[in-house]
Amino acid sequence: MASTNTTPSFTFVLFGATGDLSLRKVLPALYRAHRSDQLCDDGYIVAVARKSMDSADYHAWAREQVRPHLDMERIDEDDWERFLNRITYVALDLTRQDDFTQLRDALDGKPAARVFYLATGPALFEPVCKGLAAAGLHDGGRIVLEKPLGHDLRSSREINDTVGEIFSEQQIYRIDHYLGKEAVQNLQALRFGNALFEPLWRREWIENIQITIAEELGVEGRGDFYDQTGALRDMVQNHLLQLLAIVAMEPPHSMAADPVRDEKLRVLRSLKPIAIDEVNQLVVRGQYQSGLSGGASVPAYAREPGVAAESRTETFVALKAEINNWRWAGVPFFLRTGKRLAERVAEIVINFRPVPYALMGEASLRAGANRLVIRLQPNESMRLYCLAKQPGEGMQLQSVHLDLAFDQFFKAGSMDAYERLLLDVIHGRLALFVRRDEQEQAWRWVEPIMTGWADSARMPKLYSAGTWGPAASSALLAQHGTCWLEEEN
């Protein structure tokens, strides 16, 4: 029996259908939605790429390339074949407008509710949009744009202007997969659905907030791309600033798309600018050296394929941000991201202020005695730390915690972030996607950092692969009397 949550009829057109993003993320997410009966029977996938082959060849390619990125033990062979039967392959040169007539022919007779997913480089956004318009396919469609959308504010505006000539803002879905994570959604539920936390969610009760996205992996064969991008553009401008905005936003008047995005924009506009001459004091730029990662010896970033030998591209960023508004004035937000770090983890740490008086001993005054840790990956969870009396004589306090592990508490499995976001596109829900003014405000805030680095002759601070980054990252927090979570533990 089909789920009551199935999508309306749709045609999902996947550009770049043989690329890394498609095989690792998009197609597995669509299969999971199919497997859980989230996709209606009248839902079709049209895979578009340059490689010359037919649909049967593409199905064979998917069996070989996509299945390793799925939970193998949960694949039902008949179900997998039914999923592949949804897919039609079309070979196109995306730079040739005339070729889009072949796509129009392939879409003939399929549902007119169309999603165009651009799993391509930004250089192809313009020719794809113009090709769709020339073939008359854009009306009423929705277009999904993957990052990076430009390398600075100017290039971002150029891309948005180009796409905006063909598609209205309500048709454009700028995807940030961190916004689709279960724990991020639960952060909003925690704040706005419970009387316990919202009164505490302000400068009077919160000492500092830490947001970390750490990766064990290096550039993984993407040196040519990464050396032109770096951690600031790749992670801070989008993922980290979006998480900051969600943590710090005011309650919207509803959970509809624009009220939520309006509040995130207000946070981004309230970020205290980092002046160029403050960059070296407030921002740490690092680059990994050779070391042990995951028990194996790995090369330095500058020795990775595709990376310039004297590259100054950062693989690590830690910074202090402040929000100049009534709720958050004076509360430091510490953001951190990096490659080849000690473990793969993404988390938000809310450190509440200690009690004002040591009525029950010095432990109650310890920084971090009261803390909320929201884990986004690898396992989504929330953990609330507090102090409790140890059994026995005297008043000895000990840190204890209350856990909410989503996969253990809820019987239904957690939905993959890409699966949730792709279903939202098909349903036409914009709340979890980034609006143009949000994106451009984020670029506006990080540009002085980029300028400060470009104007400086300093090399990034080096750190060994498999560690938590350069020592300057710890020193940045020590200046404010605190430390990163793993250093305290």
List the catalytic residues: 239
Does 138 belong to an annotated binding site?
Answer: no
Task: Confirm or deny that 93 is annotated as ligand binding.
Answer: yes
Does 202 show up as a binding residue in the annotation? no
Residue 147 annotated as lining a ligand binding site: yes
The answer to whether 25 is annotated as binding is no
Flag whether 50 is marked binding.
yes
Q: What is the 3-state secondary structure (H, E, C) of the chain?
A: CCCCCCCCCEEEEEECCCCHHHHHHHHHHHHHHHHCCCCCCCEEEEEEECCCCCHHHHHHHHHHHCHHHCCHHHCCHHHHHHHHCCEEEEECCCCCHHHHHHHHHHHCCCCCCEEEEECCCHHHHHHHHHHHHHCCCCCCCEEEECCCCCCCHHHHHHHHHHHHCCCCHHHEEECCHHHHCHHHHHHHHHHHCCCCCHHHCCCCCEEEEEEEEECCCCCCCCHHHHCCCHHHHHHHHHHHHHHHHHHHCCCCCCCCHHHHHHHHHHHHHHECCCCHHHHHHHEEEEEEECEEECCEEECCHHHCCCCCCCCCCCCEEEEEECECCCCCCCCCEEEEEECCECCCEEEEEEEECCCCCCCCCHHHHCCCCCEEEEEEECCCEEEEEEEEECCCCCCCEEEEEEEEEHHHHCCCCCCCHHHHHHHHHHHCCCCCCECHHHHHHHHHHHHHHHHHHHHCCCCCEEEECCECCCHHHHHHHHCCCCCCHHHHC
**Any known ligand binding at 461?**
no
> Which residues are documented as binding site for NADP(+)?
50, 93-94, 147
Task: Return binding residues for substrate.
Answer: 177, 181, 215, 234, 339
* Binding-site residue ranges: 50, 93-94, 147, 177, 181, 215, 234, 339
